[in-house]
Amino acid sequence: MAVPTLEQRTTVPPVVNAASVTKVYTRGSEPGRFGRLIGRSEPATVEAVSDVSLTIRPGEIVGLAGPSGSGKSTLLHLLAGLEVPTEGAVQYQDTDLASLSNRRRTRLRLEEIGIVFQQFHLLDSLSARANVALPLVELGVGRRKRRQRASELLERVGLGDRISHRPGELSGGEQQRVAIARALVTDPTLVVADEPTGELDTETGRRVLEEFTRVAEDRAVVLASHDRETLAIADRIVRLQDGTIVDSADA
């Protein structure tokens, strides 16, 4: 695998860069009925990520570690343009994500960023191939090309013989590999994965991790997990606690 040298890591342009990002979630500011009854309300805001700076370069796998609630998912969502920061900026290649309209940000995400979730998020009524092809439907790619590309990606993750299976007819590990194929179908520059082995047993998880290692040969991968074995594939581990980076080290 192409682990970047220290020199490359400081000279190759980043895929994505977060500069002092803070994400505050605001909840209903009105105290609930129970809150009014007992004369107090829950805090109206949660600072999920506080003043985090992070640079992700091509060819590296970065692991986000930290206990539940430490801000891993929020940071991933910021890097992937699923959320915009309350303060600070996320720069994707040359583009400040906050400068884009929602529509253009969605488009950039579709074209450039692959996302893998813990619970696969596949559509049960569609075949593996149709699931993998979905981002291409949204990008307006023709049917023939979509099917061809989706089949290629399924082959690549070792599921060439499961093309017409529906998610319900696949094991958890196979479903996650379908989700990885879907994340790769647009040939993204960045792949983010949120607890991608969280639902899988150790052996199945290993197969999925091998896939990520291969994925990172020609793109950047950011992987949130609290599983040691999952984090072991990272070139660098960034540890979060209460929304801030408490440690960052080469693995």
Q: Which of 70, 118, 176, 230 touches ligand ADP (CB under 6 A)?
A: 70
Q: Token digits for 183?
A: 């994340």
Q: Does 58 bind ligand ADP (CB under 6 A)?
A: no
Kindly tell me the sign of the dihedral angle through the C-alpha atoms of 107, 109, 114, 116: negative
> Under a CB-based contact definition with an 8 Å cutoff, are residues 135 and 174 in contact?
no
Nearest distance from C-beta of residue 118 to Mg ion, angstroms: 8
Q: Does 74 bind Mg ion (CB under 5 A)?
A: no
SS3 label, residue 69: coil
Residues paired with residue 212 on neighbouring β-strands, in sequence order: none
Nearest distance from C-beta of residue 73 to Mg ion, angstroms: 3
Interface segment toward Mg ion; rule CB under 5 A; list 17-25, 33-41, 71-79, 89-97:
71-79
Q: How far is CA 61 from CA 108, 154, 171, 223, in A?
A: 21, 22, 26, 7
Q: How far is CA 9 from the centre of its chain?
A: 21
Q: Which of 15, 21, 48, 133 touches ligand ADP (CB under 6 A)?
A: 48
Q: Does 66 bind ligand ADP (CB under 6 A)?
A: yes
Nearest distance from C-beta of residue 242 to ligand ADP, angstroms: 9
Q: Which of 17, 50, 70, 73 touches Mg ion (CB under 5 A)?
A: 73
Nearest distance from C-beta of residue 125 to ligand ADP, angstroms: 28
C-beta of 73 vs 176, nearer to ligand ADP: 73
Q: Which of 15, 18, 61, 73 touches ligand ADP (CB under 6 A)?
A: 73
Radius of gyration of the chain (CA): 19
Between CA 77 and CA 224 the distance in angstroms is 11
Count of residues that interact with ligand ADP, criterion CB under 6 A:
12
175 Cβ contact list (under 8 Å, min separation 6): 120, 122, 167
Interface segment toward ligand ADP; rule CB under 6 A; list 65-73, 93-101, 103-111, 150-158:
65-73
Q: Does 197 bind ligand ADP (CB under 6 A)?
A: no
Q: Where are the beta strands (DSSP E) in the chain?
A: 16-26, 45-56, 61-65, 87-92, 95-96, 113-116, 190-194, 220-224, 236-241, 244-250
Between CA 112 and CA 156 the distance in angstroms is 19
Q: Does 63 bind ligand ADP (CB under 6 A)?
A: no
Query: Which listed option, Mg ion, ligand ADP, none, makes contact with residue 74 (CB within 5 to 8 Å by class)?
Result: ligand ADP
Q: Does 118 bind ligand ADP (CB under 6 A)?
A: no
Interface segment toward ligand ADP; rule CB under 6 A; list 30-38, 51-59, 71-79, 165-173:
71-79
Q: Which residues of this chain interact with Mg ion, rule CB under 5 A?
A: 72-73
